[in-house]
Each structure stands twice: as C-alpha cells, then as structure tokens.
Amino acid sequence: MIDLVPTAGLCNRMRTIDAALTLAERLQRPLRIHWMPNKDAQCRFSDLFQPIPGVRVVEGMRRASRLAVRFGKRHELMERVGKLTSTTYYNWDENQRLEHDAAALTPIARRRHTHIISYWRFLDRPDKFTAFKPLPALQQRIDEATASFDSHTIGVHIRRSDNEKAIATSPTHLFEQAMQQAIDADGATRFYLATDSQETKALMRARFGDRIMTSEDHAERTSVAGMEHALVELYTLARTSRLFGSFFSSYSRTAAEIGRIEEVTIKL
C-alpha cells in the first residue's frame, strides 16, 4: 500500500497526488489518499473532483497517518518505526530524499508499505493531471466561462493575498506592461483575469476595459464555495491560448500544465 497525505493548497495537493499515481503504477501497488480539509484547502476531495479509478480517497486521516504527520520531522524515530512495520516514511521536509528514492524505486520497493506526506511533484508524469475530472456541475461552469474563448484569449493569473514572493517579484505594473505588449502585437487580444484581489480586478478593468474577462466571485480557501471557484478558475485559465503567471505560484504552473499551454512568468 502507498498512503499519501497531500499538504498545502489545491495545486500542491494535485501535483503530489499526480506523482503518487505514477509511483503506484510503477510499483503496482494500491494508492490511498488522505485528504484533510484545513485552512489551506477547506473542502473535501469529493467537493471538487470525480473519483479517480482504482484510488481510495479518505476524507480525513487514519490514526497512523495522524501520528506520522505529528512526528514526521523526527526522522530517526520514523525510520525505527518503519523497520518494525516494514514501512518507508517520507515527511514533507524530505522532498529531495523522496524524489531520489522514487526515481530509483528500490529504497521504496524493499518495504511493503510507503507513507508519504508531501506537497511536491516527486515523480514526473507525461500526461499531467489527466486523472483529475471536475464534478459535472463545476465542469459546466468551466464550459460556460470559456465559451467565448479563442486563439486571441490570454490567461492572466495575478497572485496577491498571502503570497509575499509573488507580490514582491511579480508586481502588477509588470503584468500591465506584458498585457499592453500583447495588445500591440495583436489588436484582437483579450484576457481572462484570475486574481485573489478585487482591487486588482478593478485596476485592470479601468486600464483595459472590455478586453478583461473575470469572475465576480471571491477567491478564498476557507470555504467550499471558495475552493469550487478556485478550481473553476484553474481550469478556465487552462483553456486560454497562453498564460501570464505569477512568480512562485503552483497555481499558474498547474493551469499551464493542465492546458498544455505556454506559461510566461511575469517577474522582475
């Protein structure tokens, strides 16, 4: 068995689940995902996605996983426990070791059970994120939001709120410059803007007028409705022709990877 506890926000969880799917396929082992609603993603997996065939999703954590989360940083202790239980434990602060062992497979395969706590893509996957299927009601919202998209539609993801690195390294004025350059190159250019800042939405509308498409919903992690909105915007961005993304944002990268589109990180 492979037990996975994906941590952090939505896209961090998606990418580590994607990696775990690859690991399970290579080892021919069942995968069990422990999805814990918290301040980073206040929803259940089943609030957003259809079931992944062959994968069991536990909404919450079993006691063994809770203990692994609690004591995961005590690596020597976890190694001793692992020898007794034939389990290899990986905590979120050991992503480099996990990535190395997953690539080699042998250190993981030598024990019956693997327990992973991570937010990291520790194994690559050629068909990234294809295992994830939004719920039909959310897919309908995505389809409606993207009905007017064409090859002139560019996605823009401006991360604000709590991401200090994105705020400092990807300032709003650089997005404005990139967007104006896109318009100068193609007069038919329009933008789908996803941002967690209502002030930024107002600013971009004042600057670019009806070239801006955006949602009136508020982006937030602390409610199911907010997480549904985050998923809809993620897949909406993925349907644009290319993406202007924020620095140090897994959301920008994930949208580009889902849509197989170019992501241009706007940064100083």
Q: pLDDT tens-digit profile of 13-70?
A: 999 999 999 999 999 999 999 999 999 999 999 999 999 999 999 998 888 899 999 9
Report pLDDT for 15: 97
**Residue pair 7/13 in contact by the 8 Å Cβ criterion:** yes
Query: Do 113 and 85 meet the contact criterion of CB atoms below 8 Å apart?
Result: yes
Contacts of 51 (CB under 8 A, 6+ apart): 57
- Tokens at 18, concatenated: 């994607």
What is the value of pTM for the model shown?
Answer: 0.94
Question: Is 136-266 assigned to CATH 3.30.470.20?
Answer: no
Model confidence pLDDT, tens digit, residues 140-173: 999 999 999 999 999 999 998 777 888 899 999 9
- Structural domain spans, the chain: 2-118, 136-266
Give the pLDDT band (50/70/90) at residue 247: very high
Mean pLDDT of the chain: 95
| 68 CB-near residues (< 8 Å, 6+ apart) | 5, 78, 89, 91, 115, 117
